[in-house]
Chains A and B, each alone.
Chain A
Amino acid sequence: MAVFVNGVIFDGIDTSAQDCWKLEAYVARGGYQALRRIIESKMAQEDVIAEVKNSGLRGRGGAGFPTGLKWSFMPRSFPGDKYVVCNTDEGEPGTFKDRDILRFNPHALIEGMIIAGYAMGTKAGYNYIHGEIFEEYELFEAALDEARQAGFLGKNILGSDFSFDLFAHHGYGAYICGEETALLESLEGKKGQPRFKPPFPASFGLYGKPTTINNTESFASVPFIIRDGAQKFLEAGKPNNGGTKLFSVSGHVNRPGNYEIPLGTPFSVLLEMAGGMRDGKKLKAVIPGGSSAPILPGDVMMQCTMDYDSIAKAGSMLGSGAVIVMNEDVCMVKALERLAYFYHEESCGQCTPCREGTGWLYKVIHRIANGEGRPGDLELLDSVGNNMAGRTICALADAAVFPVRSFTKHFRNEFEYLIEHKKPLVDHKWC
């Protein structure tokens, strides 16, 4: 189910219409006007980048880094090959927004990437698509064909001297490839193991060439920014948090789905949009930004607004905007066990603290959850976590540790009770 309110990316889309993804429908919604204007007015590259900067668009993949600033890092005058790459490797538990962009509005992404290619002086781009969404990959390829036939992609776009082509690369099941340098390795046909940074992709990216990598939703926001102006995008959100944002709401709500709403919307309003709590149960906890974001108790969440700054102030992060809602029937030890297993399974194995540490975290949480916890296990989890976070090439180890720290902080009594009494404090029900 997909619900879009006050959308930028999903403005005017009827997602129930089978052809809403097609070029014709996109053009009827005002699509490709931004690209046309840039090319016809011969807009300067730095002016395009300035517009994106002024919009306050922050990276929608999780880190929230200002997109325009990232674009300005690219050496525009570098004479050799350069690339723009889109990260549609969406596999963070709770996140499912990019799939909806691909299936309902792929041309917004394509146009955004062409504009990025123009602004950064690149001739080719790739969209790396999550392995499990093969049908969306095929649909995206069909959309690329449409764009090529209409002259939006390929040589001499719209009769100008600007040429740019774009290709889809299909992943095949590795969460780590959402990490940008692992994604580049994978795109080069290798195991998806992250690279040391620096050098950063802007100087040494795909095939060792300057590369800019953005999230699907970031690119798909760009046509609106150019067409309707940075100011309008900025005003759709709040200062330092420009624009609307897609929130993927999952878990114990009546209407799970994607909600595109202005940044700064109160969480309570979002919860209401999602139909409120399923079966009228009490809200217990929320993970506000994907499984790697620290969990927050329900009452804390009810005081938050959905933007980067408010969620950070409450001690978590907005991340990818994946909001996982849990009711009073969930045993927090069981919930954490499930997440710990995920990170253990998905560690790429390159760095010892992560490869071994994610396994230890899972084993200890698993034994606590099964009534076999030992006194000192919570301290052991702390110690293992301290030896992982910040000690690896990429942030997967940190992402595995954040939930452990936040679950054991906010719901410590449940862990202590289970260790002491060998049975859970909460009569656990998944749903």
Chain B
Amino acid sequence: MLSAQSLAAIDREVAKYPADQKRSAVMGALRIALVERRETGKTPEERCLNTEVIEFVANYLQIPPVAAYEVATFYNMYDMKPVGQYKITVCTNLPCALSGGVNAAAYISKKLGIAIGETSADGKYTLLEGECMGACGDAPVLLVNNHKMCSFMTPEAIDKKLAELN
């Protein structure tokens, strides 16, 4: 279900922990599985985690499926719902709001024609509001697909970023 490359990456996670504590690698393994789904999925449904993938990861780590499932549903960066090719998460918490975070989210929403929480009809973008990313000094801040942080996102910087993704 996962590529040899993903499995090798999971093995590297497993190696970080004591031999009898493979469960510790579940967070990394789910992240690796999600990245593969995002990169290979062709529709929003194929880009998120589902019970089959979660069960596969659990079996690979020899832990009960529910142990992996409860992790996938507890931490909010694991996409459990259909998601666009580019998931844009804008921080709108207080420190960011004071430096344009709320305005940035509104600008992107208008520009993409989707409300916060929605995915565009072509399946390309999902727009979300996020909680603190630990980068308040760079506000407005947004994340693209969980792993790429973009700082100082003024309207001009947003225009540039969206053009790049397009």
Contacts and interface: CB of A to CB of B under 8 A. Distances in A.
Query: Are A and B bound to each other?
Result: yes
B136 A256 contact: yes
Interface in B73-97: 74-78, 92-97
Contacts of B149: 132-135
Contacts, number: 169
A250 B98 contact: yes
Interface of B: 16-18, 21, 23-28, 30-31, 63, 67, 70-71, 74-78, 92-103, 130-139, 143, 146-149
Contact of B75 (A98, A172, A335, A339): A172
Contacts of A96: 134-138
B76 A174 contact: yes
A133 B135 contact: yes
Contacts of B27: 169-172, 186, 189
A115 to B, nearest CB: 21
Contact of A250 (B17, B24, B74, B139): B139
Nearest to A258: B137
Nearest to A135: B149
A248 B100 CA distance: 17
A169 B24 contact: yes
Interface in A165-221: 167-175, 186-192, 207
Looking at B28, B76, B98, B103, the one whose CB has the most chain A CB atoms below 10 A away is: B98
A330 interface: yes
Contact of A291 (B75, B78, B94, B99): B94
Most-contacted residue by chain A among B17, B23, B100, B132 (CB, 10 A)? B132
Interface stretch (A24-32, A43-51, A71-79, A86-94): A86-94
Nearest to B26: A189
Interface in A1-50: 1-2
Nearest to B77: A173
A338 B92 CA distance: 8
A338 B130 CA distance: 12
A307 B32 CA distance: 42
Given A96-B135, A190-B71, 20 more contacts: A91-B131, A93-B94, A131-B77, A132-B149, A134-B146, A135-B147, A169-B16, A169-B27, A172-B30, A173-B77, A174-B74, A189-B25, A190-B70, A250-B96, A250-B137, A256-B137, A258-B137, A324-B136, A342-B132, A348-B74
